[in-house]
Each structure stands twice: as C-alpha cells, then as structure tokens.
Structure 1
Amino acid sequence: MIANQERFNRAIALFDAANAQDPNQDEGLPKELLYARRMTEMIGRFAPQASEVAQLAVRAQHIQRWTVPRSSYPMTKPGYFAWRTGLYKFHAETAGDLLVQAGYDAPMVEQVKAAVGKQGLMTNPDTQLLEDVSSLVFLEHYMLGFAGQHAEYSEQKWLGIIRKTWKKMSGDAQRFATTGGIKLPEPLLPLILKAVAEG
C-alpha cells in the first residue's frame, strides 16, 4: 500500500535520475537504471503486496554504485568486505537524501535506509525482502554473465557461490526460484539444482 502515490513517484523519479547518470551501459540503458527497474519488476512478481519501504528500498539498492568502484579499496579479501560495507552505507545515505527531497518524513527515511543498508537481515522483513529480490534478480539476470566472466572457477567454487546466495534467501524466495517464479539460466541449471540439493 502506497500512502501517497505522488510522493512515491517523485522518489522513484529521483532514484532513476541518479542512476541514469551511470556511464556504463547494459542492453542500451545505464547499467544501474536497468538494474533498479529489474528489482522493481521482480518485487512486483515475488511480493506484489510489499510495503512502501520495501518498494523504495529495492529501487535504491545499487543507487550510483559506479561512483564507489572496487578499486577504491585495497584489492584484498578484507578490502572487498570493507568495500561492500562502505557501499551499504553509501547507498543508504544517498537514498535517504533523495527521499527527503521527495517529501518523506524522518521515520520513513530511516526505515528505507535500514533496509538499503542491509540492517537486520533475517529480522527486519524489509531488509530480508530486499535480499530475496536481489538474489532472485541475480539468478535470473546476472548469474550467467558472471559465470562467463569467471570461466576459471571450478565446479566446487561455483557450488559455493550458489549456496551462499541460496542461504541469504528466505524459504519463500527459495520456493519461488525453484517452482517457476523466475527463469533460471539454462546452462547453469544442473549446477544450481546440484548446489540446492546438496545444501
């Protein structure tokens, strides 16, 4: 339920304007703009009755991600985790600023920032829903391309990646993924099913 459709539309327009600045292209669109639209499309399929907080959070999940490149942190495992943590904060703060511009009050802004910042995973329903939607979008739209970029990975490495994604998802999202809710990448289907079956 959207409390104020005009305000909600303003926020989405601000998010999209920010992501439209992405110089990287994917299927003829700014990469993060396409990603944001795919997130909204997925939450509409998976959780059509999602809260306004969750709907705003999924649209802002990767907002202006290209401005914080991986190379801005040490190319080490701790550097990777620091980058990811930094991104969560950056996305949350950026989304929060735009929500204030759109006319949202402080409590609503803080709820969206908590979800985008990945706070309370497994306990905050909006954060978990964001995690579910991002995992479903990865499986349907990005996993095959990621596999193409990392052809050197062993089967065991891939099974580990799939299992990590799977464990982040709720039972509802797992069932949605395996019962036709998303289009799993055909070339990777045997590997996905093996990873899921073996847990």
Structure 2
Amino acid sequence: MKPTRFEIAIALIDQKNAEDINTYSSHGVEFSKELLYSQRMFQKLLQFKSDASEELQIAARAQHICRWKIARNEFPMDRVGYLKWRETLKKMHATITTEILTEVGYSEEFIKRVSFLINKKMIKKDEESQTIEDVICLVFLDYYFEEFASKHEDKKIITILQKTWGKMSEQGHNFALSLNYSDKSLALIKQAIH
C-alpha cells in the first residue's frame, strides 16, 4: 500500500534529523540526537493530546529539524545572542519543513499553519501553539531534566523550573505532575511551584 502524504513527510523529517552528527548513547545504542528528540516530541504530543491535528503532529516532529546546522557559538554568548540564535533556528526549522511539505504536496494554507506552530507564535493565545510549548516543557521534564539537574546547583534548577512552569498551561502542569521523577527532582519541582 502506498504511503500517505503524512507518512512521507514524517519520513523526510526523520531522514534530515538522522544526519545529526551529535549522538546520544543509551543501552549500547547510538541515537542521532535530534532524531531522538523529534521522536520524543511526537510521542509526548500524542500522549498529551491524542487528537492532535496533522499540522500539530508535523510541527512537533520538525521542532528541531537540522538544529545542529546553526551552532550557539555563532552568536554572542549573552542573553541577546541566545535569543537571536533561537529566532534564527526557528526560521530555519520552518523553512526546511516548508520545503518538505511543498515537495509532498500539502496546501499553502496547511504549510503556513505548520510554520506558524514551529515559530511558536501567539503562545497563550493560540491553543495549538500553547500545546507545542507544553510538549517542549514536558519532553524536557521527562527526558532531560534529571541529567541537567545533576550538573547544576539547586537554586539555578528552581529558577529554571519556575520559568518552565510559567510557559505551560494548567493542563500541561497537571500532566507534568503525573510524570515519574526521582524523589530529589520531585522535591525541587514542588519547591519551585509553591
């Protein structure tokens, strides 16, 4: 049976992310860092919002497409440089995804919506943009938080958790509290949100 347009788009996004030179090792398996991240985004989205639209699913999968191509150190190592880097990345992610979706025959309207979501426009006002933001935070908390927390002081972690919490919806908060954490991580989260 012929693959659907959606399946082809997802496969092409994965193919791009599989080119990531950065790898992550787990249980003796080497993963392309951004391919693993995009699959985690996709899975977490479907756990969080099982009825997610096709646009939202593609935006989640392509959230970090080819991220390694623009290094953080290409921009000044300050807050302004960081924000500029993030904006430049978002534009690149949207451009690459637009090319893929155009190639497989999606409509201009569909492609514009995916770009809008990748750029995380109107968070707090647009429900799907907010969902993307929630999923990004949930992926961080579920997969990356423990390792990150082990490298920094509690005070810094609490500040980061408070910022993360501030980006999320109430639904996102409830879902975040249902994830499995170590006792220490859970204590830090409770400290941050109370």
- Same fold per TM (> 0.5)? yes
2:117 corresponds to which of 115, 118, 121: 115
Q: 1:141 to 1:185 in 2, by over 3 A?
A: farther
1:59 corresponds to which of 61, 65, 68: 61
Q: Give 1:159 deviation, angstroms.
A: 1.3
Q: How many residues align?
A: 188
For 1:54 and 1:125, the matched residues in 2 are separated by 11
Question: Which ranges in structure 2 are unaligned for 5 or more consecutive residues?
Answer: none
Partner of 2:16: 18
Superposed counterparts of 1:42-57, under 5 Å: 42-57=44-59
Q: Give 1:184 deviation, angstroms.
A: 2.9
Which aligned segments of 4 or more residues in structure 1 are displaced greater than 3 angstroms?
none
Aligned letter for 1:13? A
Contact in 2 for aligned 1:63/1:91 (Cα 8 Å): yes
For 1:35 and 1:187, the matched residues in 2 are separated by 24
Partner of 2:165: 166
> Are 2:185 and 1:188 aligned?
yes
1:145 corresponds to which of 139, 147, 167: 147
Partner of 1:131: 133
Contact in 2 for aligned 1:143/1:185 (Cα 8 Å): no
Contact in 2 for aligned 1:140/1:185 (Cα 8 Å): no
TM-score (norm: length of structure 2): 0.92
For 2:116 and 2:140, the matched residues in 1 are separated by 21
Q: Give 1:147 deviation, angstroms.
A: 2.2
Q: Give 1:111 deviation, angstroms.
A: 0.2
Identity %: 38
DSSP-derived class of the 2:64 partner: coil
For 2:184 and 2:14, the matched residues in 1 are separated by 32
Aligned letter for 1:76? D
For 1:165 and 1:134, the matched residues in 2 are separated by 10
Q: C-alpha deviations, 1:124-175, integer Å up to 9, x for none?
A: 2221111111100000001122223x43x3x332211001111111110101
TM-score (norm: length of structure 1): 0.90
Question: Which ranges in structure 1 are unaligned for 5 or more consecutive residues?
Answer: none
Aligned letter for 1:174? H
For 2:180 and 2:55, the matched residues in 1 are separated by 26
For 1:185 and 1:31, the matched residues in 2 are separated by 24
Partner of 1:41: 43
Q: Give 1:52 deviation, angstroms.
A: 1.0
Contact in 2 for aligned 1:65/1:87 (Cα 8 Å): yes
Aligned letter for 1:136? L
For 2:13 and 2:148, the matched residues in 1 are separated by 25
